[in-house]
Amino acid sequence: MANSINDFSPLEQHLLNDFQRDMPLSATPFADMARQLGVSEDDVMRSVKSLQEKGAISRVGPVFRPNRIGVSTLAAMSVAAKDLECVARIVSAFAEVNHNYEREHEYNLWFVVTASSEEHLDYVLHEIEQHTEYPLMSLPMLDDYFIDLGFTLKHAAETGSYNR
């Protein structure tokens, strides 16, 4: 697994940096990226696949806006250390859970649950409590104060446009 931005080729850095948002809806998105970067479509597709294999990008596609096509909440649990691995595995096994992290705190397991309806969300939260035998604290988003701009990878930005 790569550890730093410097482990990526200039093309990879541009793919990571330049297309995080506002990718135009075109029939041939990878060819469009290739044109912008002055490389071939095959180069782009090969690099995207390689970045996916390395785990540097999870996908090319949409990030859905919370609470527009479904409902979600952030849940926290305070789990005994001896149970944590097992509880985390149970939680992750739910398809409705899309992020699940251990954090250093009395509340040590934090995960996001997303569902297509309020009823299903409540059902899943209840199921998680049943199967893990731990209570959870549900903290749904009330307001979003952040304008999402993705990440800027400084190193890539400084190299300017990519030339082969």
Partner 1 sequence: MANAEADKNILQLTENDRALIKAIEHGLPVVSHPYAEIAKQLQSTEQEVMARLQRLMDAGAIKRYGVVVRHKELGYKANGMVVWNIPDDKVAELGMCIGKYSCVTLSYRRPRRLPQWPYNLFTMVHGSSREGVREKVDEIISNCKLQDIEHTILFSTRRFKQRGASYTQRDPEPVAQPQAGQRKSGRQAANLRLVK
The answer to whether 95 contacts partner 1 (rule: CB under 8 A) is yes
Sign of CA pseudo-dihedral 46, 48, 49, 51: positive
Tell me the site size for partner 1, rule CB under 8 A.
Answer: 102
DSSP three-state, residue 112: strand
Q: By CB under 8 A, what part of segment 10-39 binds partner 1?
A: 15-16, 19-23, 25, 27-31
Q: Give the integer Cα–Cα distance in Å for 113 and 74.
A: 6
Residues noted as catalytic? 99
Strand partners, 74: 112, 139
Type of residue numbered 134: Y
CB of residue 159 to partner 1, shortest distance in Å: 15
Q: Which two tokens stand for residue 63?
A: 């990030």
Nearer to partner 1, 59 or 164 (CB): 59
Q: By CB under 8 A, what part of segment 35-94 binds partner 1?
A: 41, 45, 48-49, 52-74, 76, 83, 86-94
Nearer to partner 1, 38 or 131 (CB): 131
